[in-house]
Structure 1
Amino acid sequence: MRIGEVARQAGVSVDTVRFYERRGVVPAAERRPSGYRIFDAGVVERIRLAKGLQELGLTLDEVVDALAAHDAGGATCDSERWRLEAVVERLEAKMAQLSKARDAAVAGLRDCRAGHCRFTQTPPR
């Protein structure tokens, strides 16, 4: 299967397929004498799996690591659960950070509406 067909079926760009190949998400494609990449049909499902893992919040490095564990043959829900636990912890920390930033912005807006705008105060000398 040529790269354009892989990209179309996987719902990604050709550049994404090339990037995934460079990063080890998909195995390196065979090359024809013309230089065209020829991929196994299973690459489409692998790209879909990788995209799905990224949508769950895994980084690309984490996706590569998870796929390597899968390829080694020992990956189970029990052995891989820690990956999603780490994602949940990371997301909860980010949500707490965003909530704190939102609270500060709301307070700033409230002050601004009351005539105490933080943007117009003269800095101390």
Structure 2
Amino acid sequence: MFTIGKLADAAGTTTDTIRFYEREGLLRPAGRSGSSYRLYDQEAVTRLRFVRHAQACGFTLAEVRDLLALRQREGACCGDVRTQALEKQRQLQAQIRTLQAMSATLDHLIADCTEVTSPIADCPIVAAFDAALTTQGFPDGPQGAAQARRGSMTLKARRVPG
């Protein structure tokens, strides 16, 4: 049996993390000592490592909870977990595409900002940030920044394929 501190050491985490996972229903002590210390068994170490690894792969705590529930469900199979992993991978790929689009937009804005000693009022980056964005897109790079400087910014939504 492990105390909370020993469990934290065994799993490479902190006692605060363990307490948080307990509050979230992802982990529970196997019992209590005579001094009312939480006590954990080897299953808690395995479960804690599972939670941490799933999170490192991008799963949210709610998704981890679902994966843990699958382990307990009668008739569950590897295909059920694979389905969830494929969905997570699809979500991560969409996030990557979104981040790449954001980075490309910043590349254009930075490239358009050539007069580094200009007053802030003339900064194309600030002008682009001041411009209204659609909920689905970004300014059209240097063209959008140039239009923003001229005061006639019209933004086109750049859809990220889902």
TM-score, with length taken from structure 2: 0.68
Q: Which has the larger radius of gyration?
A: 2
CA distance in 2, matches of 1:58, 1:73: 23
Match of 2:107 in 1: 106
Which structure has the highest helix share of the two?
1
Contact 1:6 1:39 in 2 (8 A): yes
Instruction: Note closer, same or farther for the CA distance 1:51–1:73 as it changes in structure 2 (3 Å cut).
Output: farther
Match of 1:63 in 2: 64
Contact 1:26 1:43 in 2 (8 A): yes
Note the residue ranges of structure 1 that are not aligned, 5 or more in a row: none
Match of 1:41 in 2: 42
The share of aligned pairs that are identical, in percent, is: 33
CA distance in 1, matches of 2:73, 2:7: 24
Contact 1:111 1:117 in 2 (8 A): no
Contact 1:108 1:117 in 2 (8 A): no
Between Structure 1 and Structure 2, how many residues are aligned? Answer: 124
> Over residues 10-58 of structure 1, what are the superposed CA-to-partner deviations in whole Å (9 max), with x where a residue is unaligned?
1110111111111121134422342210112210011111111111111
CA distance in 1, matches of 2:102, 2:12: 35
User: Secondary structure of the equivalent of 1:113?
Assistant: coil
> Over residues 86-106 of structure 1, what are the superposed CA-to-partner deviations in whole Å (9 max), with x where a residue is unaligned?
111111111111111111111
What's the Cα RMSD here?
2.3
Match of 2:134 in 1: none
Note the residue ranges of structure 2 that are not aligned, 5 or more in a row: 117-121, 128-148, 153-162
Map residues 1-125 of structure 1 onto 2, 5 A cutoff.
Answer: 1-113=2-114, 117-118=123-124, 119=126, 121=149
CA distance in 2, matches of 1:122, 1:32: 72
Larger relative contact order (Cα-Cα within 8 Å, sequence gap ≥ 6): 1
Task: Return the letter of the residue paired with 1:53.
Answer: A
User: Secondary structure of the equivalent of 1:109?
Assistant: helix
CA distance in 2, matches of 1:10, 1:73: 28
Instruction: Note closer, same or farther for the CA distance 1:88–1:27 as it changes in structure 2 (3 Å cut).
Output: same
Moved more, 74-83 or 111-120: 111-120
